[in-house]
């Protein structure tokens, strides 16, 4: 080890001296290999979407985007997200409240059941709603007799999307609420606040970043879901096509440039989602650093609002 | 930590009640409906429909390609997690943010663009296809799409573990004369194994059910590149294929739940020394 002292020591060398870091060659070889993986799987697919979308020029792009059927798909996608995200958010807050703040028998089972939709294939999820509401299923005949439609309509698409995005908000909020504990709520109650006041003024401000994080992920999946929605939609052009289904239809009509133009909207959504998500994570990390630097617990409760990465 | 202490907070009945009603209506009821309806299929028919040659071929494609993709994810994901946590290089934070891109990108778009890149006239297919590497409309395409969707699972389960590894152990190994290579295999790798297994199982489970990204790139050739979820959709479109679709769905569902149990078990096993 003493031999290394002969060299001029730069900050980067300090660690390699301790023998806990690889040689410069290995390091850059690994970074290079990682760069190739990232290029093939992350960067090229993203760039290609926009490249192909504009392959026939800006005018062709605009006409693909402004096609009435595409507009109908945009509206349906937004409608589904506007219904789905608040429903699953309210559920997520309620579920996190009872799971994080109370002890009761069957809690572990409940947590597992909430995560269940993540392990169901989207196609199988869609099929479940066909079984309930389709003509060959339980209530299909009755619905038809009463002139109601669930399958092949926005209702069925929304139900399938709610199922697919069910756990997103809950599983972000449960760890946040657990970390926050319930001391602050108890203090508020002791001081005479009502239950709802405590929730709106104490709990909600504490969980707002975790909630936002869950909402962003839930929304991205709700707008981008394909398999489950594909099974229940019926693919009626201009009526039950969401954006991903519209991409599929254009692609199957050999209209590649238009398919990519519509896909570019969804890729943009993915980029915005990633940007917001990363900003939230950086904010949390900065808060945690500050809390550590100050060495006090003052910021801890807020810094603990860390959004987890696991999905 | 006493249980009674928490009971002072209000809203337990309301929040638990709402959670149970919502969960039952939107998850448990549809799930029960699927299973109860499948019970109408006689055991003989069930066996017949679950083991048609086309169904068996679709299991081979689904499980085989998912397994290969999960192995690829484990290797590539370990590499990415390693360079992200251990090295400093330009663009590191950007790469870190991009890791979640496969989560954020709708699967249909992923399938569309991957198929285009690996098609004979695509950016990569242009070079690969003359060498006989067919990335689109082939079983390799299925593997590529599944590797794409599963990649973040391995990176994101390994990253926190790599960050929290105590450098002292590595230092001790180095001081005792171990080379970097043997330090990695004998000291670091055993610590990475539990999260790696979890990441592997998560990406495997995701791949089994995946539909959107695969249908664009696989070409969906029956007996060759057709995955089970696609076959379910095909059966639904047939006139008397409903029972067939149900049976295949239950087969997939049972497998997913077994895998979920394995993942939960792995996580408990990996966390047995914590707390």
Find the CATH number of the domain harbouring B214.
1.10.3720.10
Q: Which of A80, A40, A45, A60 is nearest to A259 (CA)?
A: A60
Q: pLDDT tens track of chain A, all 311 residues?
A: 444 444 454 554 444 445 677 888 889 999 999 999 999 999 999 999 999 999 999 999 999 999 999 999 999 999 999 999 999 999 999 999 999 999 999 999 999 999 999 999 999 999 999 999 998 889 999 999 999 999 999 999 999 999 999 999 999 999 999 998 889 999 999 998 898 999 999 999 999 999 999 999 999 999 999 999 999 998 999 999 999 999 999 999 999 999 999 999 999 999 999 999 999 988 888 888 888 887 655 444 444 444 444 43
Terminal alpha carbon distance of chain A? 45
Contacts with A101 from chain B: Cβ below 8 Å: 6, 9, 12
Residues of A in contact with B7 (CB under 8 A): 102
Q: Does B1 touch chain A (CB under 8 A)?
A: no
Does the structure show a pLDDT above 70 at B206?
Answer: yes
**Are B153 and B202 contacting, i.e. CB atoms less than 8 angstroms apart?**
yes
Q: Is residue B5 assigned to a domain?
A: no
Q: What is the 3-state secondary structure (H, E, C) of chain A?
A: CHHHHHCCCCCCHHHHHCCCCCCHHHHHHHHHHHHHHHHHHHHHHHHHHHHHHCCCHHHHHHHHHCCHHHHHHHHHHHHHHHHHHHHHHHHHHHHHHHHHHCCCCCHHHHHHHHHHHHHCCHHHHHHHHHHHHCCCCCCHHHHHHCCCCCCCCHHHHHHHHHHHCCCHHHHHHHHHHHHHCCHHHHHHHHCCCCHHHHHHHHHHHHHHHHHHHHHHHHHHHHHHCCHHHHHHHCCCCCCCCCHHHHHHHHHHCCCHHHHHHHHHHHHHHHHHHHHHHHHHHHHHHHHHHHHHHHCCCCCHHHHCCCCCCCC
* Mean pLDDT score across all residues of chain B: 91
CA–CA separation, B62 vs B139, rounded Å? 10
How many separate domains does chain B show?
1
> Does any CB of chain A come closer than 8 Å to the CB of residue B127?
no
| B contacts of A275 (beta carbons < 8 Å) | 97
Neighbours of A271 (CB within 10 A): 16
With respect to residue B34, please indicate whether it lies within any of the assigned structural domains: no
pLDDT category of residue B3 using cuts at 50, 70 and 90: very low
The answer as to whether B244 is a domain residue is: no
Q: Name the token pair of B207.
A: 């791949």
End-to-end CA distance of chain B: 14
Specify if B2 maps to a domain. Answer: no
Query: pLDDT (tens digit, 9 = 90+) per residue, B233-256?
Result: 999 999 889 999 999 999 999 999
Q: Higher model confidence: residue B238 or residue B166?
A: B238
Contacts of A91 in chain B (CB under 8 A): 18-19, 22-23
In a domain, B267, yes or no: no
Determine whether the interchain pair A121/B252 forms a contact, defined as Cβ–Cβ distance below 8 Å: yes
Q: Evaluate whether residue B41 is within a structural domain.
A: no
> Which residues fall within 8 angstroms of residue A36, CB to CB, at 6 or more apart?
none
C-alpha to C-alpha distance for A281 and A289, rounded to whole angstroms: 12
Question: Which of B170-174, B232-236, B265-269 shows the lowest per-residue confidence on average (mean pLDDT)?
Answer: B265-269
Q: Which of B31, B106, B170 sits opposite A226 (nearest CB)?
A: B106
Question: Which phi and psi angles does B30 have, rounded to 5°?
Answer: -60, -40
Please report, for residues A268, B50, B62, the alpha-carbon distance to residue B211 in angstroms, rounded to integers and kept in the order given.
Answer: 21, 19, 10
Least confident of B93-102, B113-122, B173-182, B262-271: B262-271
Q: Choosing among A120, A135, A137, A163, which should be mutated to test the B contact, i.e. which has the most B CBs within 10 A?
A: A120
| Over residues B128-136, mean pLDDT | 90
Decide if B116 is inside a domain. yes
- Give CA–CA dist B78/B70, Å, rounded: 12
Q: Does B43 touch chain A (CB under 8 A)?
A: no
d(CA A114, CA A108): 10
A229 contacts in chain B (CB < 8 Å): none
Please compute Rg for chain A using Cα positions. 25
Note which residues in 213-272 of chain B have CB less than 8 A from chain A.
216, 229-230, 232-233, 236, 242, 245-246, 249, 252-253, 256-257, 259-260, 264
Q: Is B233–A102 a contact, with Cβ atoms under 8 angstroms apart?
A: no
Query: What's the pLDDT score for residue A166?
Result: 96
Residue B179, classed as helix, strand or coil, is: coil
Indicate if the pLDDT at residue B7 is higher than 90. no
Domain span at B172: 60-226
Nearest-Cα distance to chain A for B267, in Å, is 13
């Amino acid at each position: 080890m003493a031999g290394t002292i002969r060299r001029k020591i730069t900050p980067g060398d300090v660690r390699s001296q301790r023998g806990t870091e690889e040689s410069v060659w290995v390091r850059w070889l690994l970074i290079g290999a990682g760069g190739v993986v990232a290029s093939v799987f992350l960067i090229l697919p993203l760039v290609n979407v926009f490249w192909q979308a504009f392959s026939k020029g800006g005018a062709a792009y605009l006409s693909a985007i402004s096609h009435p059927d595409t507009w109908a798909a945009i509206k349906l996608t937004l409608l589904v997200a506007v219904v789905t995200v608040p429903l699953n958010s309210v559920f997520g807050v309620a579920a996190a409240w009872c799971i994080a703040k109370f002890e009761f028998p069957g809690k572990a089972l409940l947590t597992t059941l909430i995560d269940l939709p993540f392990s169901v294939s989207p196609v199988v999820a869609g099929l479940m709603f066909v079984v309930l509401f389709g003509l060959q299923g339980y209530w299909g005949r009755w619905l038809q007799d009463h002139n109601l439609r669930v399958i092949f309509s926005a209702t069925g698409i929304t139900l399938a999307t709610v199922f697919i995005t069910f756990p997103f908000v809950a599983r972000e909020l449960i760890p946040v609420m657990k970390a926050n504990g319930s001391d602050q709520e108890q203090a508020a109650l002791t001081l005479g606040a009502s239950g709802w006041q405590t929730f709106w003024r104490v709990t909600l401000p504490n969980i707002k970043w975790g909630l936002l994080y869950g909402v962003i992920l839930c929304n991205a999946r709700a707008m981008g879901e394909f398999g489950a929605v594909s099974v229940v939609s019926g693919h009626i052009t201009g009526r039950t096509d969401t954006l991903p289904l519209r991409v599929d239809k254009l692609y199957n009509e050999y209209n590649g440039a238009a398919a990519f133009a519509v896909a570019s909207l969804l890729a943009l959504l993915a980029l915005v989602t990633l940007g917001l998500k990363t900003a939230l994570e950086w904010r949390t990390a900065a808060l945690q650093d500050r809390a550590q630097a100050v060495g006090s617990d003052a910021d801890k409760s807020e810094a603990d609002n860390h959004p987890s990465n696991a999905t | 930590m006493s249980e009674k202490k928490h009971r002072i907070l209000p809203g337990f009945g309301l929040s638990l009640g709402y959670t149970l009603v919502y969960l039952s209506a939107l998850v448990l009821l549809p799930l029960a409906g699927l299973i109860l309806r499948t019970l109408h299929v006689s055991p003989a028919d069930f066996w017949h429909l679950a083991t048609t040659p086309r169904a068996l071929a679709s299991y081979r494609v689904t499980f085989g390609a998912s397994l290969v993709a999960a192995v690829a994810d484990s290797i590539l994901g370990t590499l990415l997690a390693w360079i992200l946590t251990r090295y400093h290089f330009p663009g590191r934070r950007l790469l870190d943010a991009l890791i979640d891109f496969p989560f954020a990108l709708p699967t249909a778009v992923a399938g569309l663009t991957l198929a285009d890149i690996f098609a004979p006239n695509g950016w990569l297919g242009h070079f690969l296809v003359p060498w006989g590497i067919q990335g689109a409309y082939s079983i390799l395409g299925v593997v590529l799409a599944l590797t794409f969707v599963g990649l973040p699972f391995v990176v994101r389960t390994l990253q926190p573990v790599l960050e929290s590894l105590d450098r002292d152990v590595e230092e001790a190994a180095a001081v005792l004369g171990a080379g970097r290579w043997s330090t990695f295999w004998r000291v670091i790798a055993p610590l990475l194994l539990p999260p790696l297994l979890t990441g592997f199982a998560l990406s495997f489970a995701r791949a089994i059910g995946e539909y959107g990204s695969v249908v664009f790139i696989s070409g969906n050739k029956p007996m060759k590149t057709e995955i089970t979820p696609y076959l379910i959709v095909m059966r639904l479109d047939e006139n008397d294929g409903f029972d067939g679709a149900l049976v295949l769905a239950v087969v997939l569902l049972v497998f997913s739940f077994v895998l979920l149990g394995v993942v939960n078990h792995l996580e408990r096993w990996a966390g047995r020394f914590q707390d």
